[in-house]
Structure 1
Amino acid sequence: MSLDNEVEALKKVPLFRGVDDAKLRLLAFISERVSFRPGETLCEQGERGDVAYIILGGEADIQIGTNGGRETVATVKQNDVVGEIAILIDVPRTASVVATSEVLALAVAKDNFLKLLKNFPDMAIEVMRVLAHRLERTTREVGRLRAGSTGSAE
């Protein structure tokens, strides 16, 4: 995939909505192109996060470890970003990400990602919006699960 094609792909990522082409070109240039086969792990729950992935093609499951094993809680696909939480707040990965098809992605190193956010506030605002949306969705899902478990116990 050429740099121009990667910039065009990045324009479709909601996280980078409104970010100008020059900044997207820089992001594509400093990122590593990686691919994963079905069943390969992009990141593992509990590990230290030093890279975020921008999915350019394919799909992967977001899985969390439970007492009953791994449970898929979401699926990511083209134009999604995964792994950014661990690099933003220095916590272990909150979930595992496992390819369910051939996945093509841009891997953005922690230092580069943080420099971009510092230098381009419009990108940082979009990151906050995406994370706030995820938090709201997760909070709603936890509430639904708690209501379901409370109701079944009585």
Structure 2
Amino acid sequence: MSVGNKIEALKRLKLFAALELEALRLLAFAAPEVEFGSGEIVFKQGDHLKASYLVLSGAILLVNDRGGAAKNKMVGSGALIGSHGLIAEAVAANTAIAQENSATLKLSRDLFFRVLSEFPTSAAAMRKSLVQEIETFGAEVGRTQRILSTPKF
């Protein structure tokens, strides 16, 4: 896939929306394209994530078997899987299995932090976006907590 197409795929992701074009270009150029054959495991539930994967083509099945009942979700082109591993030490919540020949862009944490250090304006914009998301999530949790703690007679 061309660098231009990879940039367009990155721009469509909310996580990367705040990044400058040159930062996206560096990510698209420096991140390796990794292919997985049908049935091949991208990562396993419980693995320590050091990268996330942007699905460029194909289909990836996310399987979560914690808590007894399996929860499966199929994702395709444009999906970012393992995104928590991009920002911080994280453990995979799912097992990711290619369901057909699939191409991904492997975005390592080291590369991501390097790009943010080289583009401080992008880093500041991303920080602001993440803070807003966390604040929104916190407000939603607070509303849910109030609803659940209200006595129902």
Instruction: Find the counterpart in structure 1 of residue 54 from structure 2.
Output: 54
Report the Cα distance in structure 1 between the residues aligned to 2:23 and 2:6, rounded to whole angstroms.
Answer: 12
CA positional deviation for 1:72:
3.6
Report the Cα distance in structure 1 between the residues aligned to 2:74 and 2:65, rounded to whole angstroms.
Answer: 15
Report the Cα distance in structure 2 between the residues aligned to 1:79 and 1:129, rounded to whole angstroms.
Answer: 23
Equivalent pairs: percent with the same residue? Answer: 24
Report the Cα distance in structure 2 between the residues aligned to 1:132 and 1:37, rounded to whole angstroms.
Answer: 40
Equivalent position amino acid for 2:92 in 1: R
Question: Partner of 2:63: helix, strand, or coil?
Answer: strand
Q: Map 1:121-140; keep pairs closer than 5 Å.
A: 121-126=124-129
RMSD of aligned residue pairs (Cα, Å): 2.9
Report the Cα distance in structure 2 between the residues aligned to 1:81 and 1:131, rounded to whole angstroms.
Answer: 19
**TM-score, normalised with respect to structure 2:** 0.70
Instruction: Find the counterpart in structure 2 of residue 20 from structure 1.
Output: 20
Instruction: Check whether the contact 1:56–1:105 (CA below 8 A) recurs between aligned residues.
Output: yes
Instruction: Find the counterpart in structure 1 of residue 99 from structure 2.
Output: 100
Distance 1:11 1:40, change over 3 A: same
Instruction: Find the counterpart in structure 2 of residue 80 from structure 1.
Output: 79
Distance 1:67 1:5, change over 3 A: closer
- Provide runs of 4+ in structure 1 moved above 4 Å: 124-133
Report the Cα distance in structure 2 between the residues aligned to 1:121 and 1:37, rounded to whole angstroms.
Answer: 38
CA positional deviation for 1:59:
1.7
Instruction: Find the counterpart in structure 2 of residue 151 from structure 1.
Output: none
1:60-81 deviation digits (Å, cap 9, x = unpaired): 1111134758x24322222121
Question: Partner of 2:90: helix, strand, or coil?
Answer: coil
Where do 5+ consecutive residues of structure 1 fail to align? 140-154
1:2-38 deviation digits (Å, cap 9, x = unpaired): 2222222222333322433211101112201011122
Aligned length: 135
Report the Cα distance in structure 1 between the residues aligned to 2:42 and 2:73, rounded to whole angstroms.
Answer: 15
CA positional deviation for 1:125:
4.7
**TM-score, normalised with respect to structure 1:** 0.70
Instruction: Say which one has the larger Rg.
Output: 2
Instruction: Find the counterpart in structure 2 of residue 112 from structure 1.
Output: 111
Instruction: Find the counterpart in structure 2 of residue 45 from structure 1.
Output: 45
Instruction: Find the counterpart in structure 1 of residue 146 from structure 2.
Output: none
1:31-70 deviation digits (Å, cap 9, x = unpaired): 010111221111111112111111112221111134758x
Instruction: Find the counterpart in structure 2 of residue 31 from structure 1.
Output: 31
Distance 1:25 1:105, change over 3 A: same
